[in-house]
Amino acid sequence: MSRSPRFASAQAAMYTGLAMSCLFCKIVEGSIPSTAVYQDDRVYAFSDINPKAPVHVLVVPREHISSLHDTDREHRALLGHLLGTVAEIARQKGLGKGYRVVVNIGEDGGQTVDHLHLHLLAGRPMTWPPG
Ligand code: 5GP
Ligand code: ZN
Check if 36 has its Cβ closer than 6 Å to any atom of ligand 1. no
In a domain, residue 127? The reply is no
d(CA 56, CA 58): 7
Q: Is residue 111 part of a domain?
A: yes
In the residue annotation, 56 being an active-site residue is answered as no
Domain that holds residue 84: 5-122
pLDDT digits (tens, 9 = 90+) for 119-129: 999 999 999 99
Digits of tens for pLDDT over the chain (131 positions)?
444 444 444 444 455 566 779 999 999 999 999 999 999 999 999 999 999 999 999 999 999 999 999 999 999 999 999 999 999 999 999 999 999 999 999 999 999 999 999 999 999 999 999 98
The pLDDT, as a whole number, for residue 18 is 66
The dihedral of CA 8, 10, 13, 17: what is its sign?
negative
Tell me how far the alpha carbon of residue 4 lies from the centroid of ligand 1, in angstroms. 23
Q: Quote the number of domains for the chain.
A: 1
Is there a domain that residue 57 lies in? yes
Assess if residue 131 is contained within a domain.
no
The CATH number for 35's domain is 3.30.428.10
Distances (CA, A) of 67 to 2, 9, 28, 61, 102: 27, 24, 16, 11, 13
Within-domain flag for 51: yes
Domain-embedded: residue 69: yes
According to the model, what pLDDT value does residue 13 have? 46
Residue bearing the CA closest to ligand 1, atom 24: 49
Q: Is residue 36 part of a domain?
A: yes
**CB of 34 within 8 A of CB of 81?**
no
pLDDT at residue number 131:
87
At 50-75, the pLDDT tens digits run: 999 999 999 999 999 999 999 999 99
Q: 46: burial class by Cβ within 10 Å (0-12, 13-18, 19+)?
A: buried
The DSSP 8-state label assigned to residue 127 in this structure reads P
Asked if residue 53 is part of any domain, the answer here is yes
Closest atom of ligand 1 to 112 CA is 3
